[in-house]
Structure 1
């Protein structure tokens, strides 16, 4: 996955899934154009003109997104709720929901690529240098946090993070579910190394593209980096990614099979709230 500079531009892509953890989806969505520059500011010192351009483009993309994409997200949430209500959480069903989500992400990636190209093309050599150093620091930080620790500690930390993510959706996990989360984490093994290597390779490709940002080849190359990242994956990372997805689907199927009626109702209520929050957005009603 890319780091915060492009991820900030792409933050709109996955908001439906990441903002679901917020208590006030409507508030977070309305202020997304204000939140994104803070992420950019972690990596670049943008000048006033660049900040104004980013703000203008984000407002336009958010309006487009709410009007044309949110209705599809509501339908997607309905499919997920029906899947849970009918106890139909299967590997095949999860693959279908994942494919639908990827298509939605792809549509937004295509929409914002021209704006991303315009913003990145306007960066100075000094800002590109900042980007290069920020990427290097990012990899060093993540290497220290996720790789330079004994594998058993990585596995335990990954299981702990997953439990923390699941609790808001299922409530407190039971003993069988906690054990299943641990076996899921063990099955992923040393995936952190492949993930960080892929992240670093993506960053390097973006820096190389930035060196040609004033040429006609820049936007097509950026489109590949933002829209077709998988085309740049190494064979090792592709295998790791496919295993990650397989293990994630298997985990979710098993957790739902091990869930209590109270947990399933908890999940249905949470999904209903997410849908209600999205459906009540003023931009969607307008």
Structure 2
């Protein structure tokens, strides 16, 4: 169920932080998510059916109750970007609204996630732990291993790719600004990976006591809604600083956009809002559509 959170992350977070290109068709999630879940755990037929049932209800609720707020958020962001210039503080206001929508989604996801996790067998829990280890090794190879200069170039390339999705081709000054952003970041890849592993270990520990469904539900909700509770003071400070640097970068890129880039950006944001606004959502059971 964690992918559902990432794919349904409030749209503005994608616009502002360019963190997950959202060129997906919303109605495809009902078949995409079960396949993703099986990347971590091999589900039995009964479990797969239960996942489909819970996921269908969750997506129906999200489409009816949450997407309208996403559309408003995107339209407001589009207006601010059109009227410009924008400040980092203004962008953070939108981001905070997006994070509030994220929390509401996690609140809705948590009971279903806990219910599904409670039905895992010992073998499936072990499979989940092995999948975590495999993905962590892949993350270490991609983000931590290599010469410092190579890691720097890969970070810059990732950010350029994300921004080009929204602005189109970047110019030399904008690429130089991304380099300045990268140089200013407080980077501690080992701390990032340790935080990720700690979250996974907390989930696996909760699953060892999954016979107590109430306790499992509380732990799953806490892990989904407040993962930062396990952060050290130093890591919190680094995360806050890097967030400030990234918002400043995005404000600078937006304010330096050429007319062509601005047209591209507004079309992308408006197009995404239009896609969500045009979706037909199923009415709750017992009500007319």
CA distance in 2, matches of 1:129, 1:71: 40
| Preserved CA contact (<8 Å) 2:186 2:241 | no
Moved more, 43-52 or 240-249: 240-249
1:167-182 to structure 2, matched below 5 A, reads 167-182=164-179
| Preserved CA contact (<8 Å) 1:169 1:266 | yes
**Within the alignment, does 1:29 sit opposite 2:10 as a pair?**
no
What is aligned with 1:222? 220
Moved more, 148-157 or 180-189: 180-189
What is aligned with 2:157? 160
| Preserved CA contact (<8 Å) 1:151 1:190 | no
CA distance in 2, matches of 1:272, 1:10: 23
What is aligned with 1:73? 70
Encode CA deviations 1:26-50: one digit per residue, 9 max, x unaligned. Answer: xx21120110011111111110011
CA distance in 1, matches of 2:252, 2:150: 24
What is aligned with 1:211? 208
The change in CA–CA distance for 1:264 and 1:12 in structure 2 (over 3 A counts) is closer
What is the root-mean-square deviation of aligned Cα atoms in Å? 1.8
**Within the alignment, does 1:134 sit opposite 2:131 as a pair?**
yes
CA distance in 1, matches of 2:46, 2:99: 33
| Preserved CA contact (<8 Å) 2:156 2:178 | yes
Runs of 4+ in 1 over 6 A off after TM superposition: none
CA distance in 2, matches of 1:269, 1:173: 17
* Cα offset, 1:226, TM superposition: 0.7
| Preserved CA contact (<8 Å) 1:198 1:237 | no
**Within the alignment, does 1:10 sit opposite 2:5 as a pair?**
yes
| Preserved CA contact (<8 Å) 2:209 2:216 | yes
CA distance in 2, matches of 1:268, 1:178: 20
CA distance in 2, matches of 1:100, 1:209: 31
Encode CA deviations 1:219-243: one digit per residue, 9 max, x unaligned. Answer: 1111100111111222232122112
CA distance in 2, matches of 1:143, 1:178: 26
| Preserved CA contact (<8 Å) 1:155 1:189 | no
1:49-88 to structure 2, matched below 5 A, reads 49-88=46-85
Q: How many residues align?
A: 277
The change in CA–CA distance for 1:284 and 1:168 in structure 2 (over 3 A counts) is farther
Unpaired segments of 5 or more residues in structure 2?
A: 284-288
Moved more, 159-168 or 232-241: 232-241
CA distance in 2, matches of 1:45, 1:150: 37
The change in CA–CA distance for 1:182 and 1:12 in structure 2 (over 3 A counts) is closer
| Preserved CA contact (<8 Å) 1:198 1:234 | no
Moved more, 198-207 or 231-240: 231-240
* Cα offset, 1:191, TM superposition: 3.5
CA distance in 2, matches of 1:9, 1:263: 31
**Secondary structure in structure 2 of the residue aligned to 1:163:** helix
Q: 1:233 aligns with which of 212, 231, 234?
A: 231
* Cα offset, 1:158, TM superposition: 0.6
